[in-house]
Copies of this chain bind each other. A is one copy, B any other.
Amino acid sequence: MEILKNRIRQDGTVLENGVLKVDNFLTHQVDPVLMEAVGKEFAELFKAEQITKVVTIEASGIAPAIFTGLFLNVPVIYARKAKSLTMKEELLTAEVYSFTKQVTSNVSISQKFLNEEDNVLIIDDFLANGQAALGLVELCRQAGAKVNGIGIVIEKSFQDGRELLISKGLRVESLARIASLENNQVAFVEEN
């Protein structure tokens, strides 16, 4: 997605140890016009999949997911990292290990929002090691829902998340694929 790649080139910052900071349009300050375009693109990519629910994870997945849900005309569920006071019913819960923070945390979705008739599209802002996406896949599995695709805004293709998800038979579509962040430069995967 060319406008996204241009925005990363223009506004992304590469920090030490392979961190790409995009906090001025995606992860802290958000550009709603760009997010609308991102959501439209995901909806187009997965339009044949008869998606019934979009699932993401708080907080930075919400903006791209909400526009995807809008264009697919389906509800969006965001998995919670902390248990809310009003989540009193049965929960689907999975563990997510963060290589960056080196901690394991839980993500949860209320069981009532997913069932075996759902075709789920998982949306997230970043794909690196794939652990967050795998956690969301696990929540869907617990509900008996089918995961029909995973849409990623920015993929770090030099990490193994994509391979891990594809090896499980999942369809992964990433709007910007980063081949390398070496020498503090963003290099994208060459695509036709």
Contact = CB atoms under 8 A, between A and B. Distances in A.
Interface of A: 15, 19, 21, 23-25, 27-33, 35-36, 58-59, 62-63, 66-67, 69-70, 73, 75-78, 80, 84-88, 100-101, 109-110, 113
Given A15-B86, A63-B62, A88-B15, A69 B28 contact: no
28 contacts: A15-B88, A19-B85, A19-B86, A24-B113, A27-B84, A28-B80, A28-B87, A29-B75, A29-B76, A29-B113, A30-B62, A30-B66, A30-B76, A30-B77, A30-B78, A32-B75, A32-B76, A33-B70, A33-B73, A35-B66, A58-B58, A59-B80, A62-B63, A62-B66, A63-B66, A66-B67, A85-B100, A85-B101
Contacts of A87: 23, 28
A21 B86 contact: yes
A59 B31 CA distance: 16
A63 B63 CA distance: 7
6 shortest interchain CB distances as A-B pairs: A58-B59, A32-B70, A32-B69, A59-B59, A62-B62, A30-B76
A191 B177 CA distance: 51
A7 to B, nearest CB: 13
Contact of A23 (B30, B66, B100, B110): B110
Given A58-B59, A66-B66, A70-B36, A75 B31 contact: yes
